[in-house]
Amino acid sequence: MTGKDIGLAASLLRSGKLAAIPTETVYGLAGNAFDENAVLSIFKAKGRPAFDPLIVHSDSIGKIRAFVKEIPDALEAFAEKFWPGPLTLILEKEEIIPDLVTSGLDTVAVRIPAHPLTLELLRSLDFPLAAPSANPFGYISPTSARHVEESLGDRVDYILDGGDCVIGIESTIIRHDSGGLTVLRLGGMPLEELRSIEPGIKVMTSSSNPAAPGMLESHYAPSIKLVAGDLEKLMEEYRHMKIAVLNLDKDISGENIVASLSLSPRGDLDEAAKNLFAYMRRLDRSGADMILADLMPEKGLGAAINDRLKRASAK
Ligand code: TXA
Ligand code: MG
């Protein structure tokens, strides 16, 4: 069932059931983070491997302090400046967070999402919500209630409809350790913003990332093949195929092109991020044999979009 009933979502969650929740990034598949059985149903519903830890959502730094050991000064500055917002911090967990949530790691990923419905829901609960993106494992993340219905509708008790996600790409994940500050996943909080607080922040490359095991996998992938790169070269290489093309701002047509979408005709990378996953879904259903995607300029949300396109083409 889909609707805007926060009270219903809250009572389902209190009784150990799952609800899909809107956030500014993507929809999450939420359950009581303190309840091992609820967390287990999240993994089952998504078909997610147990080695891929979940993000825990709360509505206040005060509540978060109760389930983490501490918020190091280096990360607190980010929390103060960017929460609620598309930024996830890796913190040392307290016992109350079940090992299942963190896949056995002694750290937990935490964020305060910026969505009025979900913040109101979280305020009414006395537990935080563990929530991965509400898509079957490996498929394109959902940015509307309808996307959740389409792929997980029969496996979630309630979908809280908060409209289209305004950012449209998952949160940026950062960690602080002896090696300093590191971005583990590029996302909705642009690197440039983070560097305004800490110019030295490093970015972990996607090739080897033991700290976030789930990020080694091919992800965000449509069911048909996707190849990302220099679109002109790709169109030449695949000229004998029935293709769908995705690019930033050009209107592209051709004999073998069955569908063409530009993420932002005015070349705005924020708008492009917001449209990315919905457009990938559309092209997945376009009847093409494959999708060719142009890479974006590596600035602002362009870097996170490129990260998602490359992972989608990893298969
Ligand atoms: O925007 C988002 O972050 C969305 C919304 C729902 O909040 N959530 C989301 O969750 O993208 P998910 O499960 O699709 O991605 C969580 C990522 C995974 O790549 C996982 O490996 C990483 O967070 N992660 C979770 N706990 C971690 C930890 N303790 N250390 C390092 N990485 C962790
Ligand atoms: Mg995900």
Dump pLDDT digits (tens) for 236-294. 999 999 999 999 999 999 999 999 999 999 999 999 999 999 999 999 999 999 999 99
Nearest 5°: the CA angle 21, 172, 49 is 65
| Distance from Cα 90 to the centre of ligand 2, integer Å | 16
Cα dihedral across residues 70, 76, 79, 80: positive or negative: positive
Within 175-230, where are the H helices?
Answer: 191-195
| Closest ligand (CA of 169) | 1
Residue nearest to atom 22 of ligand 1 (CA): 212
Q: Which amino acid is at 255?
A: E
Cβ–Cβ < 8 Å for 175, 157: no
pLDDT (0 to 100) of residue 218: 67
pLDDT (0 to 100) of residue 168: 98
Nearest 5°: the CA angle 128, 138, 13 is 25
pLDDT tens for each residue of 290-307: 999 999 999 999 999 999
- Return the percentage of the chain with pLDDT > 70, whole number: 95
Report how far residue 92's alpha carbon sits from residue 6's, in angstroms, rounded to the nearest whole number: 30
Report how far residue 37's alpha carbon sits from residue 42's, in angstroms, rounded to the nearest whole number: 9
Report how far residue 187's alpha carbon sits from residue 24's, in angstroms, rounded to the nearest whole number: 12
| Distance from Cα 219 to the centre of ligand 2, integer Å | 8
Closest CA to 142 of 39, 31, 28, 49: 28
The token pair at 217 is: 């996998």
| Distance from Cα 256 to the centre of ligand 2, integer Å | 32
Report how far residue 19's alpha carbon sits from residue 10's, in angstroms, rounded to the nearest whole number: 9
- Which residues form ligand 1's pocket by a CB distance below 6 Å? 23, 25-26, 28, 52-55, 88, 90, 102, 105, 107-109, 113, 131-133, 170-171, 173, 184-185, 211-215
Cβ–Cβ < 8 Å for 131, 53: no
| Closest ligand (CA of 132) | 1
| Distance from Cα 102 to the centre of ligand 1, integer Å | 10
pLDDT (0 to 100) of residue 220: 82
For the chain, which residues score pLDDT lower than 70?
206-218, 314-315
pLDDT (0 to 100) of residue 214: 47
| Closest ligand (CA of 109) | 1
Closest CA to 74 of 201, 190, 212, 189: 201
Atom index in ligand 1 nearest the CA of residue 215 equals: 19
Q: What mean pLDDT is reported for the chain?
A: 95
Residue nearest to atom 32 of ligand 1 (CA): 212
Atom index in ligand 1 nearest the CA of residue 171 equals: 1
Nearest 5°: the CA angle 280, 187, 108 is 120
Atom index in ligand 1 nearest the CA of residue 93 equals: 29
Report how far residue 97's alpha carbon sits from residue 119's, in angstroms, rounded to the nearest whole number: 20
DSSP secondary structure string, 217-255?
Answer: S--S--SSEEEEE-HHHHHHHTTTS-EEEEESS-----T
Decide: helix, strand or coil at residue 17.
coil
pLDDT (0 to 100) of residue 179: 87
